[in-house]
A = this chain, B = another copy of it.
Amino acid sequence: MTKTNSGRFFEDYKIGQVIRHAVPRTVAEGERALYHALYPARHALYSSDEFAADCGLDGSPIDDLIAFHTVFGKTVPDISLNAVANLGYAEGRWLRPVMPGDTLRAQSEVIGLKQNSNGKSGVVYVRTQGLNQVGEPVLDYVRWVMVRKRDPDAAAPETVVPDLADAVAAEDLIVPDGLSFADYDFELAGESHRLGDYEIDEKIDHVDGVTIEEAEHMLATRLWQNTAKVHFDATNREDGKRLIYGGHVISMARALSFNGLANAQMMVALNAGAHANPCFAGDTIRAWSEVLDKAETSAPGVGAIRLRLVATKGDSANFPLKGEDGKYLPEVLLDLDYWALIPV
């Protein structure tokens, strides 16, 4: 009897199946400090307990992306150990702040299956939920991946492709209890731009670049207990490089976007996301953003801004995205669509 986990294959997933992922994780001030060491994160709400308290919270929450990566990491052994590709995200929402000391666990429901025409693999759609220690949901999102079949001759399941929204509707965004930007301190936050200062279709070059080292992305990826071996084992590839966890690029780009979007404080929805090209150590990551939409919320002074966040390993000043063929340019690493809360 083999004791190690060889992961699930395409034929192991059934519609409606609920997978309770292993290894709950308490996240606290240590994870917060490491996040600041790994990324140039400066959003004031996640940096200062005082600033967060002045915005009506009990203190500075754990970064939204720590919550995302931690929940995502738990799903890897069950969802993507045999994945060929991480295809997309949709309908992601942060539902309540994660505070230092909270313990996160995760579970996923299989909501879609579609065998590929080659019969060797298929697409699995799961809705993943992160829960805290009292069972309250802290975030959920849909993710779909291409997974290999163990047995190419296994029968194809009935095709079910979930009907997913292009974006979370502004009225479905969850604003944390008590949040208020009525007395927001723009000077301490680092920039004076409020929601009204941004125009839909406006593009912002975030200017700064960060070159990535192997040690850094491995520290980050392990921190989220994501154990996919492509990120850690240099013998997997002839050039000894390790494929960088896509979430590392997300966090790096989001942190870089402070320069121009310092007041886009809290991520509240993940509308879509594509890891356009692989990222490796030695790449220098830059980022640019595009304003896709704007909305109001019912909380005092709190608006919402929908942003496209693009990470590139080339120049960001010319806003690289797709070529004339509609495909991502080779230097583009990430195309992320999210909602953030920002003072009106």
Q: Are A22 and B187 in contact (CB under 8 A)?
A: yes
With both beta carbons as reference points, the residue of chain B lying nearest to A33 in the complex is identified as: B30
Judge whether B219 and A233 touch: CB under 8 Å. no
Give complex CA distance A261, B5 in Å: 10
- Identify 26 residue pairs between A and B in the complex whose beta-carbon atoms are under 8 Å apart, listed by A's number: A3-B261, A4-B206, A22-B191, A22-B262, A23-B48, A24-B44, A24-B47, A24-B188, A26-B50, A29-B33, A30-B32, A30-B34, A31-B33, A36-B222, A37-B222, A38-B219, A42-B225, A48-B103, A51-B103, A208-B229, A209-B229, A209-B233, A211-B242, A213-B218, A216-B218, A235-B284
Q: Is A234 an interface residue (CB 8 A)?
A: yes
Query: CA A38 – CA B25 in complex, angstroms?
Result: 16
**Partner pick for A188 among B23, B209, B213, B282, CB 8 A cutoff:** B23
**Residues in B neighbouring A225, C-beta threshold 8 A:** 36, 40-42, 47
Main secondary structure of the interface of A (DSSP, over half): mixed
Residues of B within 8 Å of A3, CB to CB, are 191, 193, 197-198, 204, 260-261
Q: Which residues of B contact A205 (CB under 8 A)?
A: 4
Cα–Cα, bound, A39→B223 (Å): 8
Q: Are A28 and B29 in contact (CB under 8 A)?
A: yes
A contact residues, total (Cβ < 8 Å):
76
- Give residues of chain A (201-251) contacting chain B, Cβ–Cβ below 8 Å: 204-211, 213-216, 218-220, 222-223, 225, 227, 229, 232-235, 240, 242
Taking A23-B48, A37-B219, A233-B284 as known contacts, 11 extra A-B pairs with beta carbons closer than 8 A to each other, sorted by chain A number, are A4-B207, A22-B187, A23-B189, A25-B48, A49-B101, A50-B133, A208-B233, A209-B235, A210-B232, A215-B216, A227-B259
Q: Report the bound CA distance from A232 to B40 in whole Å.
A: 10
**Contact A42/B259 with A50-B24, A284-B234 known, Cβ cut-off 8 Å:** no
Min CB distance, A257 to chain B, in Å?
Answer: 10
Beta-carbon contact of B223 and A37 below 8 Å: yes
Q: Are A4 and B260 in contact (CB under 8 A)?
A: yes
**Closest residue of B by beta carbon distance from A203:** B3
Is the CB–CB distance between B44 and A22 below 8 Å? yes
CA gap between A61 and B218 in the complex, in Å:
24
Tell me whether A77 is interfacial, beta carbon within 8 Å. Answer: yes
Considering the complex, which residues of chain A in the window 4-27 have a beta carbon less than 8 Å from any beta carbon of chain B?
4-5, 20, 22-26
